[in-house]
Amino acid sequence: MQVSIIIINYNTFDITCDCIASVIEHTKNFDYEIVLVDNASPKDNPDDFLKRFPNITLVKNPENNGFAKGNNHGIKNAKGELILLLNSDTILTEDSISIAADFISNNPKTVVTTKLVYQDGVYQHNARKFRSIRNELLDLARPALYLLPYRTRAKLMLNQYFNGDFSTYCDWVSGALMMFHRDALNSLPGQILDDRFFMYAEDTLWCYQFSEAGFHSYFIADTSVIHIANASTEPEKQLKLLKTMLKHELIIMAERKGKGFYYHTFEIIFTFKEMMRYYIKQIALRLFNKRIR
């Protein structure tokens, strides 16, 4: 069984090369191919990738049409039975791909990720629960949650309450590293990854659509991958990103619950909580010159 590794590049030549090199160095126990999709990078010459990595498949998009559409283009050019979506700013330090592929080969009705960590080794909370009124209210009452035993709290909430220290089923996993069986696409609307979002929250949407088709998301704690992730975004860009995330999360909630009383109650609570969280982060940045993840 072959894994097709789909990587999207947009103006990140050096970082993307580091990602590809780490895949080649560490993936030893499973057959794989690398499909690199360049989303019309104005600063990169995509042919330079072939000079360094002649065995990859290069797909050159004529325009930057986003993360989801880029991945769909890559999948169209892939041959493997397993599909791995891998961010260009990830670095493998061990054979994580083979571990994930072994699991999904034995559990084909799953969508799989491994532990993602920052460069300093801190876990990125990529095993997640779908949002709900209950969980948003519990999150607002955070001190009370810490009265619960850790494992009880972690299983109840996942997200930031989970340290990534045991493998578990969850509601959704990060698109920075997401593996699924190619046949799973046949169960999705249009038989492709939903590409209505240019970027952000598309992984939540995909996992919801997979779950509706009987697939379960699974987090593997036994291996980790470095995800550089942009932790230096300026406050103005952070606010714009937050508004985009709010919009996309509400679209997903409308799909899951409809636009009735539950949706509008969630909208009020969720928007209030996330805006409050944003301003607390900015106050902490100004007072202590330190960003809160």
Task: Please tell me the predicted confidence (pLDDT) of residue 1.
Answer: 87
Q: If you count DSSP H runs as helices and E runs as strands, how many of each does the chain have, helices first?
A: 10, 11
Could you state, in order of their start, the residue ranges of all structural domains in the chain? 2-227, 235-288
Task: Please tell me the predicted confidence (pLDDT) of residue 232.
Answer: 39
Strands 110-117 and 216-227: parallel
Identity at 201, one-letter amino acid code: A
Q: Are 216 and 109 in contact (CB under 8 A)?
A: yes
How far apart (Å, rounded) are the C-alpha atoms in residues 234 and 177? 25
How far apart (Å, rounded) are the C-alpha atoms in residues 144 and 156? 13
Considering the four listed CATH numbers 1.20.1730.10, 3.40.630.20, 3.20.20.70, 3.90.550.10, the one that applies to the domain covering 2-227 is: 3.90.550.10
How would you write the pLDDT of the chain (293 residues) with one tens digit per residue? 899 999 999 999 999 999 999 999 999 999 999 999 999 999 999 999 999 999 999 999 999 989 999 999 999 999 999 999 999 999 999 999 999 999 999 999 999 999 999 999 999 999 999 999 999 999 999 999 999 999 999 999 999 999 999 999 999 999 999 999 999 999 998 999 999 999 889 999 999 999 999 999 999 999 999 999 764 345 567 667 888 999 999 999 999 999 999 999 999 999 999 888 878 777 776 776 655 55
Please give the radius of gyration of the chain, using alpha carbons only, rounded to the nearest integer. 19
Query: And the tokens for 234?
Result: 């300026």
Task: Please tell me the predicted confidence (pLDDT) of residue 291.
Answer: 57
Task: Please tell me the predicted confidence (pLDDT) of residue 233.
Answer: 46
Closest CA to 126 of 203, 213, 210: 203
Please provide the distance, in angstroms rounded to a whole number, between the alpha carbons at the two ends of the chain: 38
Collapsed DSSP state (helix, strand, coil) of residue 17: helix
